[in-house]
Amino acid sequence: MGVVINRPTDITYETLFEKIKVDLQDSVVAQKHVLYGGPVQPERGFVLHLPAGEWDSTITIAENTALTTSKDILESVALGVGPEKMLLTLGYAGWNPGQLEQEILQNSWLSVQPKDVETLHKILYDTANDDKLSATLALLGVDPAMLSDVAGHA
C-alpha cells in the first residue's frame, strides 16, 4: 500500500476534525488541506508523520517516520501535542500481491533514493504540494521542463 503525498483535496483539517468531533483550536493547522491518499477506502484517514511516536495503530515505515490510522493522533494534534510534522490523507493506493514489483520491473515507476533522511523529510513535509514532483525528479537529475508528453520517432 502507499499514500499519495501531493494531491490536496477541498477538505480542510478544520472540516475533517469537525466531522470526527475533535475540537481543533490551531487556526493555522485548521486551514491546511487534507490530501487525496488514493482510491481505496477514501473514507479512511492515514497520517504520515515524524517522529514515529506512541499512537495506536502506528507502523514505523522509515527512520523516525511512521504511518498512523487511529483517531488518537488527531486528538493529539487538536491538543497541540501531535507529531512535529505530518501529512493527513484520505484513502490509499493498493496493489495485488506481486503487482507493484511487476510494475517496477516494467519501469512504470521511478524509484528514487534520497541522499539522506533530511532530504526525504524536506520533500515530504516542507515542500509545497505542487513542487514535490519536481523536487523528487531533481534527485534523479531530471528537470521536468525538459520532459515531453508527446512520443516521437527517430
pTM: 0.87
Confidence of residue 116 (pLDDT cuts 50, 70, 90): confident
**Alpha carbons 11 and 138: distance in angstroms, whole number:** 30
pLDDT in tens, 8-51: 999 999 999 999 999 998 889 999 999 999 999 999 999 999 99
**Number of domains forming the structure of the chain:** 1
Q: Check whether 142 has a pLDDT greater than 90.
A: no
User: What is the reported pLDDT for 109?
Assistant: 82
The answer to whether 56 and 70 have CB atoms below 8 angstroms apart is yes
Does residue 75 lie in a domain region?
yes
The answer to whether 32 and 13 have CB atoms below 8 angstroms apart is yes
pLDDT in tens, 52-85: 888 999 999 887 899 999 999 999 999 999 999 9
Does residue 105 lie in a domain region?
no
Does residue 28 lie in a domain region?
yes
Q: Check whether 101 has a pLDDT greater than 70.
A: yes
Does residue 49 lie in a domain region?
yes
Does residue 81 lie in a domain region?
yes
Residue ranges making up the domain that contains 32: 8-99
Domain harbouring 12, CATH code: 3.30.70.1300
